[in-house]
Each structure stands twice: as C-alpha cells, then as structure tokens.
Structure 1
Amino acid sequence: MSDGMVKILNGNTFVVSDARGDIEASPSDPTGLFSFDTRFLSKWVLTINGDRLMSLSTDDLQYFEARFFLVPGVGSVYVNATLSVIRQRSVGNGFLEVLSLLNHDDVPVDLTVRLDADSDFADLFEVKDTLRKQGAYARQAGESSLLLLYRRGTYVRSTAISSSQPCAFDEGGLTFTITIDPHAAWTTELDVAIQMLGQQIAEPGQEIGGVARTLEDQVKRPIPDMARNLARWLGEAPRLECDWETLQRTYRRSLVDLAALRFSPLTAGGNSLPAAGLPWFMTMFGRDSIFTSLQALPFTAGLAATTLRELGLRQGTRIDDFRDEDPGRILHEMRYGEMTAFEERPHSPYFGSADATPLFVVLLDEYERWTGDTDLVRELEGEARAALHWIDAYADLQGNGYISYQRRNAETGLENQCWKDSWDSISYRDGTLPGFPRATCELQGYAYDAKMRGARLAREVWQDPVLARRLEKQAADLKQRFNRDFWVADGEYYAIALDADGRQVDSLTSNNGHLLWSGIVDDSKARAVAEHLMSERLFTGWGIRTLAVGESRYNPIGYHNGTIWPFDNSFIAWGLRRYGFKDEAAAVAAGNLEASAYFDGRLPEAFGGYPRSMTKYPVQYPTACSPQAWSTGAPLLFLRTMLGLEPMGDHLVVDPALPTTIGRLELLDIAGRWGRIDAFGRGRVDTSRLSGRVDGR
C-alpha cells in the first residue's frame, strides 16, 4: 500500500483509509472496510460545503481506534482556519465514527456536511486480481438509515449506515444541514454495521423495511469495550523489565499487534487464533497460524489451543484435486468470500501446503510440553495420527521417502507449497528453476521433528508404545538418508531441495537454519551450517538473508531471494540455540531487534538484505505486510531463545545468553505447567565479534 494509509483492525474486521479518514477505493486498491474477505465499504468521503478536508494529524490511539484532525481548505500564516473537524473511528462489527465540528469563530456558521457512501462488496481476491462481480446491487435510503446490499443467488452481503443526529439519507450517502454557534461544537455518531448471512434480506428493488429494522437493531448494538479487552490481554502476558528501551517497546508492540491479529473463525465460539497479516491475509492460514502460535506459546498459549482445534476441525478427509486435499492434510488457507463460495477459488479450504501437516504435530507436542494439557492431546489424537499418516501415504510423491509437492490445480493452486512460496524462490546455483515434484529441505526437517514428537505423545499420552517405536525408527532412517542426500559436499551445507530426478538444488539459503531447529542435522555437520548462517554471504548484521550473496538469483530486495524475514530469523536463532550456538543465536536476535527500532517497534514481513555496513538503517521492502503475524511473533521467540527457556517435565529451564545491548532483563510470570516462573539474565554476549565466523568450543 502507498504511504499515508491508516489501518485500524479488530480481528475479523479492518479499515484502511487515507490520512483524512476517507475511503475512495479503486478496483485494485486495498482500502475500505473489510470483514471475512469482503469489502463492505468502498467509498466514505467527508465534505463540508462541497469541499474536501485537509489532514493536520492522525492519532493511532489503539489498534482498533484512530483519530483524525482536519480543517477545511488550505490555511496560511496569515489566515487561520476557524473550523476544525475531528473524526474518531473504532472498529467492531463494522465501525463507529464520532464526527465532531468545532467553530472557533465569533459568529455562527452554517454548514452542509456530506458523507458519500458506497460499497462494491468486492471479494478480496477480486481486489488482488482486479476481477469483476456477477451479482446485483441495491441501495435503500430510509428515514433513519441507508442500506447497501449485494446479492448473488443465496450469497448476500449488506452494510447499514445510521446517525445519532438528524440527517437526510439518499442512495449515495447522507447530508447534515447544521448551524454551529460561536465557539460551540456539533457531534454525531455514525454507525456502519455489516451483515453477512442476510437470510431476512429481500430481493434487490423490493421493500426492505423489515430488513432495515433488523439492521437498525444491529446498529444499536453495544460496542465492545476493546480497551478493557486489550488491558486484560496485556495483563495476562509475562511482564518484561530491561535496560534496553528498544526491546521494551518492541515487546509491547508485538503483544498489541498479536491482539489486533486475533481472528475468530465462525466455529471457534469466540476463541481466537492468529490471522496471517494485513491487508491480504486476515484469515486462518495453516502454516502462519502454527508458526505464530509456536512463537507465542510462552506468552499466550490459548492461541495455540484454538489453532490446533480449528485446523483439526478442517483437516482433509478425501482426495480433491481442485483443493489439493488429501486425507489427513492440514489446510493452507481458509476464505469466506464470494469467489470461494461459488468455487471460483478453491479456498474452502485450500490445502496447498506441504509443511502445515507435520507442523501441526510439532505444535501439538510443544503446546503440551508448555501447558501440560494432555486433554487436548487426547482430543486431537485422531487428527495427529492422520497427519503423521499423511507424511508417508500422500506426501511422498516420488516414492523416495521425502515430502515433496506438486500442485494438482494448475489454474489457481500454488506452485511452491513451502514457506518460500513465490514462483522463483527455489533455484539452483546458476539461477535455473527445477521441475516438479520438489522436495525442499526444511520439509524433511519438519517431518523428522513431527515423527519424534509424535513418538513422545504416543508413548506418554496415547499409551501406544508400538506406534512410538515405529515413528522413532522412521525418524532415524529419515535423518540418515537426509544427511546423505541433501548434503552439498563441496560447500558443506544442505541443498534447498531435491528435484524430480533426485538431483540437489544446490543454492545456499536460510533454510539451513530451519534444519537446525528441527534437529535433523547430524552433530558433525552443525558447525559448518552455523558458520554459513553467520557468514557475510548470509548474515548482514541486521539478520540472515533468505538467499546467499553470490547465488545467481540473489537480490537484496527479492521477496524470497535475499531479503531478511524476521520470522525466518527467529526460528534460525532457535535452531542455533538447539545445537549449542548460544552467542550466534543472540547475535541474530540482536540484529533483528535493533532493526525494529527503525520500524516503530513493529518488525515487518520482510526488509532489505543489504549489509549493515552499507546502510545506517534497514531498508524497507515496498509491499511487506505490516502487521504480519509471524513477524509480530518473532520478538517473542527471540526472547525465549536468548533466555534459554525450555520446558523439562514440570519445570522450566532458564539458561540466558543475552547480547550486551540488553543489559539487565527480567521476564516475570511466565505461565506454564509449572504455574508461573520468573526468568532473569544480563547481557554478556559481545555480538559485534560475530561477523562471519563461529568461535570454537
């Protein structure tokens, strides 16, 4: 999105406007009021006496609330504006906007206040792909509200607009004709309510008085106390005290953004899981929701529980090429919009992800290790077993014992079904792209980890030692073959993939760090991997690049070919820590956290992979999602990694290795199966010395 956009969100619903608070969306412009993948308001423009307003400033009050300060016309040093306008907007089921006009003059002022309103009811895929709709529109202006309606068969969406002050509604908006006394103010509350189901809505053009009454009842709904909800959310998280102001600011921003990104599926009974990111991905994603839940476990374990239940509820049950569905497979993406409803897109749900299924088992085990919630492990035993079965029965497309992927829906399916899912992210050293199927290296690491964790759950919770032994044997065999087949001997690192012929796709990438996290790396190879990750080819000082300098497709602002992804770095740091490289993990964490200071405490989806010696600040990636869930979760995982927090039975081990930048650090009231525990540490790791080598141990 362009600069100057103001984003307010509340889980399933968000508003993107310009700095004046106006919405004037073009077909491909992601501005408007959105909920459940539909744009419910595409035009919302304020004028006074026919003139647009000028923005003075915008207050980002909370993630769900913003305030816009405006004046009519253009002032100068000689002529002061005598009227000021304040718009305060809060997002709920739609949004509530308090519009206030203040007359600063000594005489009364007569004003015509106009709000033009409209909705294209665009599906989010239509906005992304600039497609056209096929349904019918209707507008109904009543005495007390304006109803905007869209219908295509049984698919109905509507928006109702009302005001607390008298006004004239017409099909294009609402008009106030007012007089404000000297030094007085005028205020109205504008309520924009959305409706998705619409069973009681009449056909376009028919009388809809009964519907208007239903919608007016919605309009008068109580507005949730979001401020109290946020305060409770922050109060339940561990409290951070440290000497480094940047970390304190980033930690709070992460918690607030995570609260903002909470998404409540229609089946979740009000419980939430992490949506992937604004503006395109405010929905349930298998991979993203799992990774974010893993990052956030020490800080809010409830997200993981909801993620597991909701993904398990929608687990694949059949062979469906349109959706890339298999029995046991965990979904990639769930959508609720028109194109999904009419099967013009396969996202109901779409299963084109090769990593979400093993990661489901990984999250289930890690959740139990933190919380001791064996009831959920028993509840999801069937789903976990089905996921483990999918790895062997459906994911091994080449019969070589490795997870690989190839889309079956050539029209709308994803080519790359790993986390680096852009079209050119998997390449040989010379830049050529392999054919399909592709078996990327991190998928094998996730499969290994899932089998090892599944074995633990089978033995300790499901009371199935036979399954446990079988999974452990499979994992050991996978590890042995993987370290033989993926190891690039002349470079001493792991290839990013094997192609359809079993040949190594031999570029050097950050995926090696995910292998450390999974535990599939032989101990004898771990040091070489760590040295590559911390070398100047990958480590910039701000973080680790997705693709190494010197590879043919390297580009410091290439989406997966040289940028730095905070999410990626957080799991790399966790992997370095797993194999004993504490100082290196601290250096990766420090670089990313230092970068966060330049993004107002909010790490974006990705940023430029330029070396730190070249730039005084990290370079923005132009189309990065912000906030994005697994970038929001990255600082939380960095904290866990630097403090060395690791569950051991009913105890929490604390083994800090903190960069000197942090100084003193306290993380208080860490909740888990142990109750609540405090962790302390001091910054003693000089990360400046880690500029391309791994010290001997």
Structure 2
Amino acid sequence: MASATADSPVTEPYSVPATNSLQERRPNTLKHGDTFAVFDQNGDAYSGPGSPEGLFHRDTRHLSHLCLTINSARPLLLSSTLRDDNATLTCDLTNPDFVDKNGERRLRHDSIHLRRSRFVWNGTCYERLLVRNFHEETQLIEIRIDFAADFADLFEVRGKQRKRRGQMHPPTTTRHEVRLSYTGLDGLERTTRLGFDPPPSTLTAAAATYQLELDPGESRTLFLEVNCQREPAIPIGHRSYFFALRDARRALRASSGRAACILSSNEVFNEVAQRSMSDLYMLITETPEGPYPYAGIPWFSTAFGRDAIITAMETLWLDPEIARGVLAHLAANQATGFDPLSDAEPGKILHEVRFGEMAELREVPFRRYYGSVDSTPLFVMLAGQYLQRTGDIGTIRQIWPNIEAALTWIDDHGDRDGDGFVEYGRRTEDGLLNQGWKDSHDSVFHSDGSLARGPIAIAEVQAYVYGAWEAAARMLRDLGQEDRAVGFLRRSEELRRQFDSVFFDEELGTYVLALDGDKRPCRVRSSNAGHALLTGLALTDRVETVAKTLMSGASFSGWGIRTIPVTESRYNPMSYHNGSVWPHDNALIALGLARYGFRHAAARIFEGLFAASTYIELRRLPELFCGFPRQRAQGPTFYPVACIPQAWAAAAPLSLVQSCLGLEFNTKSMQITFDTPVLPEFIERLEIKQLKVGIGSVHVAVHRSGTRVVVDVIERKGNVRVITIL
C-alpha cells in the first residue's frame, strides 16, 4: 500500500491545539492506574474550551466541573501543595470579606479556614474537607459544591469535533449520593457516582449544599468520593477515606522502594531527584504483566511504546523492574497481523493504546495503534540492555518469540525498499504522518524548508536498528546460539559503514536528519544525530565533530540541546519539534556522549537541565520547553501545552547521573564500574544507596578530591565489587 507523501494534504488531526496554556492555569495533577485528575490551585475543575481539568478514567472525563463556594463566593487561595511523593493534594483556602446590602462588613476575610485534602486510588477521587471557624463569634456558613460530568472522550477534550455523541441519562439522587451516567455510541454505559458524608442539607443532580453552624474554634469534616465505574468497597466516610489513603501510600512506598536512592550535597538537586522519582512512580501503572510507566498527564496518560521503553532505559540502572514490566506488557500487545488503519504489521511494537469511546468506534485509530517506526527496534534494544543489567535470562526466554518477531519485522516490513535502512510511511490518511519521536507534521524537512516526501528513513531509527542487532547478538550468545550472534554482529557492522557513507555530511559536520522517499538526504542539523552516539552507530572518528556541532551555540541553548539549531530554515524556538528543548532527548544524547568519553559534555547538559528545573514549580521538568537562549538571571520559556509530569522527562535527571558517573554493571562478576566519573559543577558529593547488582547491593559516595572524582564504598551487601576507572 502507498504511504502518504508531501503531495497529500498536510493535517495534524491528533495534535494538541494550543487554545489554552497549561502554564497559565498551573494545574495540580493526581494519578493512580487508569485514572487521573487535573485541578486548579483551589482544587476546582472548570471544563472550558481547551481545558484539561476534571477527573478522567480510561480516556473518558467522568467529572468535568467541580466548584466549591463559601456563602456563594469563591474562597481565597492560601496555598496549594502536592506531597513530596505525589500521594495527596492539599489546598488551603479562606473566606473573602463578606458585606451586607448596605456595604457593611459582616465577616472579615481569613475568619474561616477550609482545607481540601484529595487523592486518587482505584478509580476513585477521595476528598476530605475540613472547615474551621477562627472568628470569635458563632458563624452560619454555607458550603456549596457544584459538579457536572460531560463524559467527553479525551480526544474531544483535546479539540477533536464529533458529528454525533451518545445519550446522557437522567441523574439519580438519594440523601447522600448522585449518579450521573452516559451510554456512548459504542454501547458502553459510563457512570460517575458522587457520594457525600455526612449527607448534605440539600442535594440535587448538580450541587451539594451544607448549612454549617460553627462555634468559635469549632471545625467540621466533610467527605466526598467520586467513583468512576465502580461501587465503593465500604460506605463513604472517615474509614473509607483513611483506609484508601493508607493503601495508596503503601503502594507508592512499595514501588519506589525498589529503586536506588540518590542524595547529594546540593539540596535543590535533592528536590529535583525526589520529584523525578515521585513523578515516575505516580505515572507507573500496574498492568497484568508488571509495572508500566504511562507517558504523561493530561494528554498521554496511557501506555505508549516508545515513551515507556525510553523511560525504562533511563531508569534501568536504578530500577530494572520497570524495564521488565515494559518488555512483558509490550510483548503481550505486539501486533500479529496486518491492519492498515492501525498501521499494524506482524511483529510491530505498540505505539499507543486507548480505551475511550472514540477509539472503540475507530473515530481515531488509537485503540491499539502501531504507527511508530522506532518502538520495535527499541524493544529489542531494551531487552538486550535488561539482560546485561540483570542477568535475567528467564525473562528473555519467555519473550524471545516476541523478540524474534520484532527482528523479523525490521527485515520484512521496516526496510520497505531493501536499501538497508528502515523507513516509515502511514498506511492510511488517518495515521500519523511522521512516525519517529518527532511526530509533528513539519518535523522532517529539507534545508530549504520543504517537507520531506515519504517513506522516510530518519537518522535515529537507523541507530536503534544498529542497537537492536547488537542486542540480539548479545542475547543469542547467552542463549547458546553463537552462529546467529555472529550473523547479527556482521549485519550491525555493515549498517554502521553504510550509515556513515550515506548519512554523514562533511559540510554540516554531523549526520543528516533523514533520507526522503527519493533517497535525497535532508541536509539539516538536528538533535536526531545525537542518537547515533547512543547506540555506538557513529564511527569513532566522527564523534568529536558531531559532539562539537551538538554543543555549539547554535544548538545548545544553555538549558539543553535544541531539537533543531538556529541555523536551520524551520527553526522556531516555540515549535513542538523544530527548535524546542526536550529533557529526554538531551538525556539520551548525554548517554551517547558519555559512551564515547565526552562526559564533561554530558555534565554540561546536566547542568543546563538542572538550572532550568530551579525555575520550575516543584522542580519538575516538563515534556519540553522553548528553545530561546538562556539569559542571565532568567528562567526558561515554557511551552504552552507541555505535559507535566511526563515520564521520560521525569527520568532525564536520573539518567544524567548515570551518564556523568559512567555507571556499568556486570551481573556475572557481580561488579559495578564507575568509568572515568565526573560530577557536574553544582554537585560536590553524591551518594547512591541500594545500588543493586545480582543479589547484592552497595551504598557508595562519589566526591571530588582535587581534580579527580573518587568513589568510596560506605556499605556492601553481598559479594559486590566496585571498580573505578580514572
């Protein structure tokens, strides 16, 4: 089947329209499993045009409006805080001045304190509202909670127009409960249940009202539960709230407790590392196959293949269990047949999966969508890295048929024209036009700015294929198939030579962005070239030139490496992929630079991203930010609809630790190696606790000693060797 070309109409039907800046709203996010919530600083949700606020479950918005008022007025915000582990959101509010009809103040501001404590667990949003009177007189207070559920599909919320919708059902109410429901065109009924304890003074299908008489110093506690598609295990109230809170915190501690712990001499970096870990483990969803990091909130809180694989690579050194879960889940969802609408081909690895009404009806192609060219070789790469990190040959044996199918896909379907390079091109007009990680419609172009025709062989995908061949060879050797291993090594070396001869451009000083459908090189400098360093595809004598180009002032903004440098025709620092800075992209490039010994360049990237995080609320790196040059005493410029938190961005600072320290693991010899470690300027001392290899672990301290960086073992469990190469 023919792929789409530049002659076809260029549309971006699935892009996120920038009609409302997430930065302006400063949203608070909560997540557990397939449920996430986005609230404003007061803890409310307003579902205006372009707003992602509300409570979402399996790609449907189950609560589109939530607004708390006191005596018919919106409370004043005192503070809004997420716990360090992301377990709960706490909003402290107070009353404004209340005046009577004659303009006389009848209650001064800051007399009534409202504390909203909220979390998400097992498909339910729990809230405890504490109301306390600090006035010297008794006060009659009206607390009103307005609510609504539009049951909008996530793609509707993102701006996709629908010709028809399903049927909203009449709400049902009792003294303490409201049920709202909707039957979609897919025949599925979706239900939202709002429960209140104690029962409100008045409860309608759209609001709960409490009339509270509070003596001086008296407080009252109200509980609200919003259930998506499930009945509560126990009646709503104090026990329900605290039992669920206990379970939620225990689950977070249990999952994050697997990981190595990072502690440094820089308190701000400690906050960055803590937030990175908290975001990562909040985004992880327990699937039947194991832990799986969902991509990001609000638009990508689901299983993405590429994002999860890269997140697992970034965190493999500190928690290999994430990689095991990702491999198992993607193996279970690997394509086994052809489906042009979903760009599926046998052996191909998932791009994304969706559960909403529009996906079920195929109004969007993402129910199970396979339109990413890189997920499949990345899957093989991750499998090889996981085996090398853990020695877990049992898991590799279990998913080996899936690895074989992925390798076969690269040969049979990835290389469409038999030229030795893997290309992509969508099978229908509904698919994604560009299917590398830079998947916006204008991300692949020629030096004059004209868009490339497909099928397109993008630079970094060739690097991933090289990495897949190398990984296959390592795994085959461990499986006792030496002859096949040699064959894959031979293929990887052949690809390395071919890639260099076709993709390297002496004048540009780097690898070209891509080859178009006519095999014309897209002579554009880009961050994509840095991924050739990641897997070792780049010839050694090319690396210094490529590194210099990546770290030049045109490419390196001061905060990080831009996707496209200022020298290129389509450079726009405010674009999604043509001049912005992506933390995960920088982390992968840093791994590549470190692979070839350019650790000081990796440390420079680390310093840039760390400096950016110091200007960001909660020290939380977003999906991307704008590529404007770094200015003294000013922070980075934010991208309006960047997801935050985003899994591979959260993992970027953790990956950069490994790049700078040169961390390598050998499970057969129970050895951890620090290969020519460096520390970025903002860290004098770094401790890593519970750093595991095999059945052993160590607690190490890395610190400066004159011009050198020294590694000391503080504690050792098991027969673990720590080697430092200086």
Does the 8 Å contact 2:96/2:108 carry over to 1?
no
Relative to structure 1, the CA distance from residue 321 to residue 641 in structure 2 (aligned partners, 3 Å threshold; closer, same or farther) is same
* Structure-2 change in CA distance of 1:26 and 1:540 (3 Å): closer
Name the counterpart of 1:116. Answer: 146
Matches within 5 A, 1:522-671: 522-599=539-616, 600-613=618-631, 616-648=634-666, 649-650=668-669, 651-655=671-675, 656-671=677-692
Q: Superposition pairs for residues 99-110 of structure 1, below 5 Å?
A: 99-110=129-140
SS of alignment partner, residue 658 of structure 1: coil
5 Å-filtered alignment, 1:396-435, equals 396-411=415-430, 413-435=431-453
What is the distance in 2 between the residues matched to 1:255 and 1:318?
38
Deviation at 1:541, TM superposition (A): 2.6
Determine if contact 1:659/1:684 at 8 Å carries over to the other structure: no
Q: In 1, Cα distance between the equivalents of 2:611 and 2:255?
A: 26
* 1:137 and 2:168 aligned: yes
Structure-2 change in CA distance of 1:527 and 1:334 (3 Å): same
Q: Could you tell me which residue of structure 2 aligns to residue 345 of structure 1?
A: 364
Please point out which of 132, 147, 151 is paired with 2:179: 147
* Alpha carbons of structure 1 residues 74 and 552: separation in structure 2 relative to 1, 3 Å: farther
What amino acid sits opposite 2:285 in the alignment?
Answer: F
Give, in whole Å, the separation in 2 of the partners of 1:321 and 1:624.
30
Return the letter of the residue paired with 2:433. E
Whole-angstrom distance in 2 between the partners of 1:112 and 1:300: 49
C-alpha displacement of 1:75: 7.0
Root-mean-square deviation (CA, aligned residues, Å) is 2.2
The correspondence of residues 243-282 of structure 1 with structure 2, limited to 5 A, is 243-265=265-287, 267-268=288-289, 271-282=290-301
- Pick one of 73, 86, 90 that aligns with 2:115: 86
Q: Secondary structure at the match of 1:654?
A: strand
Q: Deviations over 1:550-578 (max 9, x none)?
A: 11111222221111111111111110111
Amino acid at match of 1:664: R
In percent, how many aligned pairs have the same letter?
Answer: 36
1:652·1:674 contact (CA, 8 Å) conserved in 2? no
Cα distance in structure 1, aligned partners of 2:391 and 2:523: 41
User: Under a length normalisation based on structure 1, what TM-score does the superposition of the two structures give?
Assistant: 0.91
SS state at 1:96 partner: strand
Q: Shift in Å at residue 357 of structure 1?
A: 0.2
Whole-Å Cα distance in 2 between the matches of residues 509 and 311 of structure 1? 29
Contact 1:95–1:192 under 8 Å retained in 2: yes
Indicate the SS of the match to 1:508.
coil
Contact 2:512 2:525 in 1 (8 A): yes
Structure-1 residue corresponding to 2:718: none
Are 1:34 and 2:56 counterparts?
Answer: yes
Normalised to the residue count of structure 2, the TM-score between the two structures is: 0.88
The residue type equivalent to 1:632 in the other structure is A
Q: Structure 2 CA distance, aligned partners of 1:224 and 1:245?
A: 29
Structure 1, residues 253-299: CA drift from partner, whole Å, max 9, x if none? 1111111111234x44xx42111111101110000000001111122
Provide the secondary structure at the position in 2 that maps to 1:236.
coil
Q: CA deviation at 1:534?
A: 1.6
SS in 2 for 1:277: coil
SS at match of 1:659: coil
CA distance in 2, matches of 1:176, 1:11: 32
Which residue number corresponds to residue 681 of structure 1?
702
1:215 Cα deviation after fit: 5.3
Residue deviations 1:408-437 (CA, integer Å, cap 9, x gap): 1212x1111001111111122221111111
Change (3 A) 1:478 1:120: same
Q: Could you list the per-position Cα deviations for residues 112-162 of structure 1 after superposition, in whole angstroms to 9, with x for gaps in the alignment?
A: 332222101111111112434521112111233111111125312111111
**2:359 corresponds to which letter in structure 1?**
T
1:335 paired with 2:354, answer yes
Q: Which deviations, in whole Å up to 9, do the C-alpha atoms of 1:626-683 show, x marking residues without a partner?
A: 1111110101110011111012343221121223331122222211326213444335
CA distance in 1, matches of 2:702, 2:68: 53
Q: Which amino acid aligns with 2:673?
A: V
In 2, the alpha carbon distance for the partners of 1:188 and 1:589 equals: 46
> Aligned equivalents of 1:524 and 1:104: distance in 2?
72
Equivalent pair of 1:261/1:275 in contact (CA under 8 Å): yes
Structure-2 separation of matches of 1:37 and 1:98: 26
Note if contact 1:658-1:684 (Cα within 8 Å) is conserved in structure 2: no
Pick the aligned partner of 1:70 from 67, 83, 93.
Answer: 93
1:455 is aligned, of 464, 469, 473, to: 473
Aligned equivalent of 1:302: 321
Answer yes or no: is the 8 Å Cα contact 2:95–2:111 preserved in 1. Answer: no
Q: Partner amino acid for 1:278? A: I
SS at match of 1:157: strand
Q: How many Å separate the matches in 2 of 1:584 and 1:81?
A: 52
> For the Cα contact (< 8 Å) 1:160–1:215, is it kept in 2?
no
Q: Which amino acid aligns with 2:178?
A: L
Match of 1:321 among 340, 343, 348: 340
Q: Secondary structure at the match of 1:289?
A: helix
What is the CA–CA distance in structure 1 between the aligned matches of 2:110 and 2:393, rounded to whole Å? Answer: 65
CA deviation map 1:45-101 (0-9, x unaligned): 222333332222212234131122222334799944432222111211221111122
Three-state SS of the structure 1 residue aligned to 2:489 is helix
Give the match's secondary structure for 1:69. Answer: strand
**2:28 equivalent in structure 1:** 6
- 217 and 159 in structure 1: CA distance in 2 versus 1, 3 angstrom threshold: farther
Output the CA distance in 2 between the equivalents of 1:28 and 1:251.
31
Conservation of the 8 A alpha-carbon contact between 1:547 and 1:560: yes
